[in-house]
Structure 1
Amino acid sequence: MTPMKEDYLKIIFELGGTSKMVSNKQISQSLDIAAGSVTEMVSKLVEDGLATHTPYAGISLTDEGIELAEQLVRKHRLWETFLVDKLDYKLSEVHEDAEQLEHVTSDKLTNSLSDFLGNPTHCPHGGVIPTADGVYQQYSHIMLSELEDGDVAVVDRLADNRDLLTYLDQIDFDLGDKIKVISHAPFEGPITVQLLSEKNGEEQREVSFKASHYVFVIPEADK
């Protein structure tokens, strides 16, 4: 299994490909890879029995693909947690080093690392961390981009993308923020949201159209 294939499995898992179809465009944007390269790798994953693909609908992981993705995500997110909690990395800094570490981490080291960290269930950007047996809480697949004006939600999870995390840090938009959608600018413009917490005094943020597809939320009605 090449590191590139592993990255695809992880991002498909991240985008909800265990229970729904994920588009090639989402994968392309998340990995910052040309659409043609995504199509080629998706075909390889299907040939390996790790994914299924439906033209014009998207890709989802098979049972075998899900099991492998869970193992990879577990290693990656445990290292992210270690780097943030123990070495004071910024959230936007952890992905590259965690990526390197996960590829050389044995199952024994993974389990020891989990025990050392207190067996965390979520990484610093809200992603679930599967147990050694593949158990984890279900996570939100609802994107900020899917909300309508007036909807209220809590930011539950951020996609594992360095540029995204850097951008959200710059506009001071955080995991756990309770938000109300104010407006959607036309022609793929930003989404304006109001922060509904005492610390921000109901300030507003403009979240870019692209970023809004990689911020996952729990609508107030679903909590």
Structure 2
Amino acid sequence: MPKNTTISGNVEEYLELLYKLGPNGERVSTSMISENLKIAPASATQMLKKLAVKGYVEYSPYKGVVLTEEGLKIAKKITRKHRLLERFLCDILKIKSDKIHDQACEMEHVLSDDAERALCHLLEQPNKCPGDSVIPECDLKFTTCEECKERKEVDVEEVGKRNENLISILDLNEDKKGRVSFIRGDHKVIRRLLDMGITIGAIISVIKVAPLGGPVEVAVRGSKLALGRDIASNVFIEACDEMGC
């Protein structure tokens, strides 16, 4: 992914909004974008066409727009920085809640990847922002937060970035499966999951998602488990395609 210095703040704002409005790959209408940004539909359409040329979105007139894999990477990255900053402003600096969002918007575009990583360590790997929205997973080539902390002296450039976009178990559709690639949380979380057979590389499938915030029933290593949503949202997988994992 290009560094933030090569992507304008305006482009990041559009991609961030598209991720917010269609987090699971839903198409977003031009009218929704113009209403959220308080701009004319024609202006939104013009920008979407530019984003399509850059390869960040797939745009079809009258059908809306959806993020490409590359656009999704950038959108998740800037959303992650924004929500980490909100957590920092709220928990560490004790900024008033009505000022946090706007302040984070100003800071997210200039926060380096190394600073983002250090901020995550400082906050002890939070999974939600003050508004209770999930913080996207990091894009570094680590399998756990513990591994990241153990190598905190290594710069982001040396660590490298994942090529694929991951999704949490919570976002995996019923009757679909994927390979566990990243676990967010401390050693207690990792140990708890290990005891259940959920380890890096394990193939996991969703059987049923209970309504009204109930648990997620999954199958892993021949066993069926009921996971609370908090823990399911912190296990990230690479979804299997039609050819399998």
User: How high is the TM-score relative to the length of structure 1?
Assistant: 0.59
Query: What is the match of residue 110 of structure 1?
Result: 116
AA aligned opposite 1:75: K
> What's 1:8 paired with?
14
1:121 matched residue in structure 2:
127
Corresponding residue number in structure 2 for 1:130: 136
Deviation digits for residues 127-184 of structure 1 (CA, Å, limit 9, x no counterpart): 2212222656456xxxxxxxxxxxxxxxxxxxxxxxxxxxxxxxxxxxxxxxxxxxxx
Superposed, 1:60-209 pairs within 5 Å as: 60-133=66-139, 135=166, 137=168, 138=170
Runs of 4+ in 1 over 3 A off after TM superposition: 134-139, 218-223
In structure 1, the residue matched to 2:25 is 19
TM-fit CA distance, 1:86: 1.8
Distance 1:17 1:53, change over 3 A: farther
CA distance, structure 1, for counterparts of residue 104 and residue 52 of structure 2: 27
Q: Which structure 1 residue ranges, 5 or more long, are not aligned?
A: 140-217
Conserved in 2, the CA contact under 8 Å of 1:91 and 1:125? no
Task: Return the letter of the residue paired with 1:26.
Answer: M
The 8 Å contact of residues 17 and 59 in structure 1, kept in 2 or not, is answered as no
Sort the Cα spacing of 1:219 and 1:23 in 2 relative to 1 into closer, same or farther, 3 A: farther
Change (3 A) 1:93 1:219: farther
Find the counterpart in structure 1 of residue 225 from structure 2: none
Distance 2:122 2:167 in 1: 19
Aligned 8 A contact 1:18 1:61 in 2: no
Q: Read off the aligned partner of 1:87 and give its amino acid letter.
A: L
Q: Which one-letter code corresponds to 1:88 in the other structure?
A: K
CA distance in 2, matches of 1:136, 1:88: 31
Distance in 2 (CA, whole Å) between partners of 1:96 and 1:22 is 23
Amino acid at match of 2:19: F
1:84 Cα deviation from its structure 2 partner: 1.4
Equivalent position amino acid for 2:14 in 1: Y
Spell out, residue by residue over 1:79-126, the C-alpha distance to the aligned partner (whole angstroms, 9 max, x if none). 011111222233331122111211111111000001111111111122
Look up the match of 1:41.
Answer: 47
2:86 maps to a residue whose letter is E
Mapped contact 1:17–1:61 kept (Cα < 8 A): no
- Partner residue in 2 for 1:195: none
